[in-house]
């Protein structure tokens, strides 16, 4: 399901500066203890509380010893529409999903979310992070559907921050001058297959590639900022167990 990420010739990060032996893991340092995870959903409309979740994909983000990000594992599932959910014909025309096709391997949304959440929690622990943060292209849409499904299913252990996110439409607009995913990928030198678009798996993997490329391009800027933070004595970032997912009053990214 996961293909080899394309090369990022223009986004190779310089070697990371030597950090103190007691420094926390690289991913903890890079995103203040948050683990970026790309999520894309295909739906039966635009209303998170009433419209069906039909497909969801989560793509993990990994980091190499030099602090360079790359796309990791993909976890993707077809989802069975919840009871009395709305299916807008216009949306189905775009994503080309037949929710009731006999060969469609759909599972209940609770099962799909739990499977993705388990993989995300494992990644959080392996990187020493506290919580995941959703990365998406127009991320507010994906986060709204994710939160609505969590509420609807009564899932308590949600590893994602409930309101903070990274939006690649914003990042691409600032870094590349393009906000449409397909155009941003093309001007960045990455591939885009129009025929594969509007699949949660394909869109999430392309979004992950774009997020990694932009972050890797910012390696010099990040290295300078990290050095300034160290000089300021900001030592609050340490590897720690994940926060309880049902605990209120979460710290935002800002």
Sheet holding 106-107, edge to edge: 106-107, 69-79, 53-63, 34-43, 131-136, 160-167
d(CA 93, CA 179): 23
Kindly report each contact of residues 137-140 with a partner whose C-beta sits within 8 Å and lies 24 or more positions away, as own/partner: 137/40, 137/167, 137/168, 137/169, 137/181, 137/203, 137/207, 137/210, 138/167, 138/169, 139/165, 139/166, 139/167, 139/168, 139/169, 140/165, 140/167
Q: Nearest-CA neighbor of 11 among 64, 69, 53, 51?
A: 69
Go through the chain and tell me how many residues it has: 254
Residue tagged active-site, from 101, 137, 161, 198 = 198
198 is catalytic: yes
Q: Where are the beta strands (DSSP E) in the chain?
A: 34-43, 53-63, 69-79, 106-107, 131-136, 160-167
* Strand, coil or helix: 238: coil
The catalytic residues are 198
């Amino acid at each position: 399901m996961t293909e080899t990420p394309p090369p990022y010739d223009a986004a190779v990060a310089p070697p990371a500066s030597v950090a103190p032996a007691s420094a926390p893991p690289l991913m903890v340092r890079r995103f203040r203890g948050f683990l970026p995870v790309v999520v894309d959903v295909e739906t039966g409309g635009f209303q998170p509380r009433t419209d069906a979740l039909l497909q969801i994909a989560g793509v993990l983000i990994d980091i190499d010893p030099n602090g360079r990000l790359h796309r990791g594992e993909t976890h993707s599932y077809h989802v069975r529409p919840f009871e009395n959910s709305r299916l807008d014909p216009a949306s189905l025309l775009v994503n080309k999903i037949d929710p009731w096709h006999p060969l469609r391997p759909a599972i209940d949304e609770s099962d799909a979310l739990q499977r993705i959440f388990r993989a995300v929690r494992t990644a959080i622990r392996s990187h020493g992070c506290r919580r995941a943060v959703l990365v998406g292209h127009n991320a507010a849409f994906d986060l709204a559907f994710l939160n609505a499904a969590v509420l609807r299913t009564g899932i308590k252990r949600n590893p994602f921050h409930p309101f903070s996110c990274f939006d690649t439409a914003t990042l691409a607009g600032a870094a590349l001058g393009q906000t449409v995913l397909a155009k941003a990928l093309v001007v960045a030198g990455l591939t885009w297959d129009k025929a594969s678009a509007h699949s949660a798996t394909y869109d999430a993997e392309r979004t992950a590639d774009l997020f990694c490329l932009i972050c890797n391009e910012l390696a010099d800027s990040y290295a300078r900022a990290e050095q300034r933070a160290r000089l300021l004595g900001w030592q609050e970032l340490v590897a720690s167990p994940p926060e309880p997912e049902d605990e209120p009053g979460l710290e935002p990214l800002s």
